[in-house]
Amino acid sequence: MKIPFAGFFFIVFLGLSCHVQAQKKDLPKQNKWGYVDTDFILSKMPDYQKAQKEIALLSDSWTEELKIKYLEIDTLYNEFQEEAVLLSLEEKTKRMEEIKAREDSLSAYRKDVFGFEGQFFQKKKEILKTIQDRLFDAIEQVAKEYKLQTVFDKAGDQNIIYVNAIHDYSDYVLEKLGLGDPNDVVR
């Protein structure tokens, strides 16, 4: 028996249709999602404010240290410029090498402190770790409590063009952190 061309497509379509219906039974009934604004939540956390101040002080301290070292090098260079006419070629070379060595050392130190994965980055990560852990634990609790499969961060790099405020779970996360506004009525 020969199956007409249109009949062949009907049989394939019917088979795929049954396969898709069988797979749908395994999926949750509703793919629920929500979003939070971590910038907003962090702004309400006193621990985060304290950590930000500590990070700023640390940054300022290292920046000031670098400024002092740059001024020392600048002073050496200015002294060299003033005395250059009186110095022998050998003394000029020696002083320029000393200035260059200090510049190289300072550049390496600046990179070690403020470079990618530098001391400042590591210290900042260490200071913020417990705060971030608390925040993500609270987000996870809210997601499980409200049966959310996906939670987006409005403050992150996500390109959310439009979001209905009904999906905002930031207030619930604040409540989990014990930072909810007692006068604010959460949906």
Helix, strand, coil in percent for the chain, rounding step 5? 70, 5, 25
The residues facing 36 across adjacent strands are: 153
Q: What is the pLDDT of residue 27?
A: 46
Q: What is the pLDDT of residue 110?
A: 95
C-alpha to C-alpha distances, 29 to 164, 182, 184, nearest whole angstrom: 21, 35, 32
Closest by CA to 139, choosing from 10, 53, 131, is: 131
Chunked mean pLDDT (size 10), the chain, 187 residues: 44 46 50 86 94 96 96 94 91 94 95 93 95 91 86 74 70 88 65
Query: What structural domains and CATH numbers belong to the chain?
Result: 33-176 (3.30.910)
Q: What is the pLDDT of residue 22?
A: 44
Q: What is the pLDDT of residue 158?
A: 62
Q: What is the pLDDT of residue 6?
A: 43
The identity of residue 32, as a single letter, is K
